[in-house]
């Protein structure tokens, strides 16, 4: 016994029934009502959002003898029934351009369009689906008839890739009215599926409809096809477990359990969790896609509350509880790591997906290895890392605040040293005594456990000309000279900004500029350097001499000419330590490095 699929049975018959595409359906209905229908249309958009359906409804409205004054077809007459069902019609022809894409097919279409409609008050409508598959020669054969078509002949081109038409035949776009169809939102998909289930006499909850709508990814046809698949498998009312089992989806409960493992920093539990996924037969690629959606929803809950995320009603409290355990910055880093895992398609192509998933989840569980610079400075300054009493609940719950946007540093364990006698062993490094955490930090314990670092050597007094010149002080003075423009000839400030400073013998400062710079020859003269040396001397309160060289010069301090991510992080950390002496002490004491 044959039956018609839900996607065909509940296909819209009027403009008003097409979901989410009111900007297209309203315009077409108004054009039919006012007699201003164009001779060629280009419908663009994702699959299953109503492009071919609206093309058929337009053909029905143009040829319906019982059309309403508003321009809607009746949907019940013989003409409407034949067009709606895609049956043979003399005046409405549907062509699949994927299999009729050559120049001969285009010429045949052009010749057929020359014949008048079957009746005087009817229109001939040609619907060309997958129009981007037409060859360049086929488009060229259609150019003239699209520009000056015969009377009462209308062309409708439907495509999911309009950019290919732009590349193959740009003149086509100016000969058609273009409509871009939108993806259908999850709420609209759920609403439409409820209407379909009501027509089928079946009731289902959000635990059934919401996963199907999310899996459909904005396509109404895909959503109804998946719903049809679920109804075919189950007897009576389907359940959320049926949907997960049939479609291979990973339930939200598993992702919530994963967040418990991550928040407790149970590193071994990550391997047990992935092993259970494989034992239960879950597809790791499907788990990966679901993890990205889950983290996005959890971040929305963290930032805006449960009402902002599209999640099941019975799980909103569980989402809120998990969101409270993480800072927004932690969730953002997790989501970023998920996005980077398959940015180049390596996860889909990999034969070791299990290892990649385990590595990703282990990185989640080790997020406690990051700490904010503000926290380090508070500890170095001898103040408590706990927030002030008048701080809000978010600050008391997460004093580290990884989402503040400031750079974070990562602790790097010191290299192993040779064993020594107990009497000569040095006390453990501060990083071993106190390990800052970014997830569920324990502020009082960490504040008490952070030891006092070794105090940096006092900077030389500006008035003591016999004291050795400090490189950080020289760099600060150089930045001040460039910002104020003291002694710098006009037009040189921009060229001198990327210069690198290093110390030479005595009070000499070596300034390396990019090779090939036109200022090297000019600054080789003592008269041109003297104003800059005087400006530097005023800021350093001592007499200095400047030597300008090119980067890479063997006589200069060697510096890498190629800019990499590592050199950029090193330069940024150097600038930060120049501005913050306490941070410089922390970097030297704990061997810190900048990670973001």
DSSP secondary structure, 78-109, as one string: HHHHHHHHT---SSEEEEETTTS-SHHHHHHH
Tell me, what CATH number does 351's domain have?
1.20.272.10
Same domain? For 21 and 141 the reply is yes
Same domain? For 21 and 105 the reply is yes
Determine the structural domain holding residue 199 and report its residue range. Answer: 186-247
In this model, does residue 381 exceed pLDDT 50? Answer: yes
Q: Is residue 79 part of a domain?
A: yes
Same domain? For 205 and 170 the reply is no
Same domain? For 78 and 142 the reply is yes
Tell me, what CATH number does 223's domain have?
1.10.8.60
β-sheet with 545-550: strand ranges across: 500-503, 508-513, 545-550
Residue partners of 348: CB distance under 8 A and separation at least 6: 285, 342
Same domain? For 298 and 345 the reply is yes
Q: How confident is the model at residue 397 (pLDDT cuts 50, 70, 90)?
A: very low
Tell me, what CATH number does 46's domain have?
3.40.50.300
**Other CB atoms closer than 10 Å to residue 554's CB: what's the count?**
6
Q: Is residue 459 part of a domain?
A: no
In this model, does residue 425 exceed pLDDT 70? Answer: no
Q: Is residue 527 part of a domain?
A: yes
The reported pLDDT for the residue numbered 400 is 41
Q: Is residue 213 part of a domain?
A: yes
DSSP H helices in 366-429: 373-380, 393-397
In this model, does residue 245 exceed pLDDT 70? Answer: yes
The reported pLDDT for the residue numbered 467 is 66
On the 0-12 / 13-18 / 19+ scale of CB atoms within 10 A, 4 is: exposed
The reported pLDDT for the residue numbered 445 is 38
In this model, does residue 512 exceed pLDDT 80? Answer: yes
Same domain? For 161 and 61 the reply is yes
Q: Residue 587 corresponds to which tokens in the numbers above?
A: 């970097």
Same domain? For 23 and 162 the reply is yes
Interval 408-416 mean pLDDT? 47
Q: Is residue 414 part of a domain?
A: no
Whole-angstrom CA distances from 112 to 311, 334, 439 are 52, 58, 70
What is the number of structural domains in the chain? 4
Distance CA 166, CA 162 (A): 6
Helix (H) or strand (E) holding 126: strand 124-129
Q: Is residue 310 part of a domain?
A: yes
List, for residues 427-472, the tens digit of each pLDDT value: 444 433 334 444 444 444 333 334 444 444 444 444 455 667 777 7
Q: How confident is the model at residue 39 (pLDDT cuts 50, 70, 90)?
A: very high
Same domain? For 243 and 307 the reply is no
Q: Is residue 551 part of a domain?
A: yes
| Last-in-domain residue among 180, 210, 237 | 180
Same domain? For 70 and 153 the reply is yes
Of 284, 289, 375, give the one whose Cα is nearest residue 327. 375
Q: Is residue 136 part of a domain?
A: yes
The reported pLDDT for the residue numbered 34 is 92
| Last-in-domain residue among 365, 385, 420 | 365
Same domain? For 176 and 214 the reply is no
Same domain? For 18 and 129 the reply is yes
124 near 154, Cβ under 8 Å? Answer: yes
List, for residues 46-100, the tens digit of each pLDDT value: 999 999 999 999 999 999 999 999 999 998 898 898 898 877 778 899 999 988 8
Same domain? For 154 and 94 the reply is yes
Residue partners of 457: CB distance under 8 A and separation at least 6: none
**Residue given tokens 């049956």 in the structure block:** 87
Distance CA 108, CA 111 (A): 5
| Last-in-domain residue among 322, 341, 365 | 365
In this model, does residue 510 exceed pLDDT 50? Answer: yes
DSSP E strand stretches across 454-560: 500-503, 508-513, 545-550
* Total-model pTM: 0.60
Tell me, what CATH number does 510's domain have?
3.30.300.180
């Amino acid at each position: 016994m044959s039956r018609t699929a839900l996607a065909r049975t509940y296909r819209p018959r009027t403009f008003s029934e097409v979901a989410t595409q009111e900007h297209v359906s309203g315009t077409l209905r108004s054009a039919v009502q006012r007699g201003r229908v164009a001779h060629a249309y280009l419908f663009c958009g994702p699959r299953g959002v109503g492009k071919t359906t609206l093309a058929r409804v337009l053909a029905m409205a143009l040829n319906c003898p019982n059309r309403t004054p508003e321009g809607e077809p009746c949907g019940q007459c013989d003409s409407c029934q034949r067009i709606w069902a895609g049956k043979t019609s003399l005046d409405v022809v549907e062509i699949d351009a994927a299999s009729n894409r050559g120049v001969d097919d285009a010429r045949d279409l052009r010749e057929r369009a020359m014949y008048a409609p079957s009746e005087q008050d009817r229109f001939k409508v040609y619907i060309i689906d997958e129009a981007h598959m037409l060859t360049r020669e086929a488009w060229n054969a259609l150019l003239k008839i699209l520009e000056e078509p015969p009377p009462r002949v209308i062309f409708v081109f439907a495509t999911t890739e309009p950019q290919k038409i732009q590349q193959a035949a740009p003149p086509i776009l100016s000969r058609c009215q273009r409509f871009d169809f939108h993806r259908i939102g999850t709420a609209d998909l759920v609403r439409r599926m409820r209407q379909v289930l009501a027509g089928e006499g079946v009731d289902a909850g959000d635990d059934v409809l919401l996963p199907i709508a999310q899996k459909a990814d904005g396509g109404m046809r895909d959503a109804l096809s998946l719903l049809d698949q679920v109804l075919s498998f189950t007897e009576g009312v389907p359940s959320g477990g049926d949907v997960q089992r049939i479609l291979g989806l990973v339930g939200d409960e598993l992702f919530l359990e994963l967040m418990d493992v991550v928040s407790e920093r149970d590193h071994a539990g990550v391997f047990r969790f992935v092993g259970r996924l494989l034992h239960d037969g879950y597809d790791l690629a499907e788990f990966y896609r679901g993890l990205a959606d889950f983290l996005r929803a959890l971040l929305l809950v963290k930032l805006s509350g449960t009402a902002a995320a599209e999640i099941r009603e019975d799980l909103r409290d569980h989402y809120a509880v998990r969101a409270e355990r993480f800072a927004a910055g932690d969730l953002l880093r997790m989501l970023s790591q998920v996005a980077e895992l398959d940015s180049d398609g390596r996860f889909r192509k990999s034969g070791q997906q299990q290892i990649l998933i385990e590595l990703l989840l282990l990185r989640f569980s080790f997020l406690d290895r990051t700490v904010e610079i503000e926290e380090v400075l508070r500890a170095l300054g001898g103040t408590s890392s706990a927030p002030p009493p008048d701080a809000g609940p978010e600050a008391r719950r997460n004093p580290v605040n990884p989402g503040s946007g400031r750079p974070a540093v990562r602790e790097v364990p010191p290299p192993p040293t040779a064993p020594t006698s107990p009497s000569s062993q040095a006390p453990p490094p501060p990083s071993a005594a106190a390990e800052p955490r970014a997830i569920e930090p324990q502020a009082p314990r960490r504040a008490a456990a952070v030891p006092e670092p070794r105090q940096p050597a006092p900077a030389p007094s500006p008035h003591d000309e016999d004291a050795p010149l400090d490189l950080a002080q020289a760099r600060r003075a150089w930045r001040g000279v460039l910002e104020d423009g003291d002694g710098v000839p006009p037009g040189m400030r921009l060229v001198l900004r990327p210069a690198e400073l290093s110390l030479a013998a005595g009070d000499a400062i070596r300034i390396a500029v990019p090779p090939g710079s036109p200022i090297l020859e000019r600054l080789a003269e003592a008269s041109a350097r003297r104003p800059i040396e005087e400006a530097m001397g005023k800021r350093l309160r001592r007499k200095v001499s400047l030597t300008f060289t090119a980067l890479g010069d063997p006589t200069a301090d060697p510096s890498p000419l190629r800019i990499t991510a590592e050199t950029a992080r090193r330069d940024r950390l150097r600038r930060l330590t120049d501005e913050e002496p306490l941070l410089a002490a922390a970097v030297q004491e704990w061997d810190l490095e900048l990670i973001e």
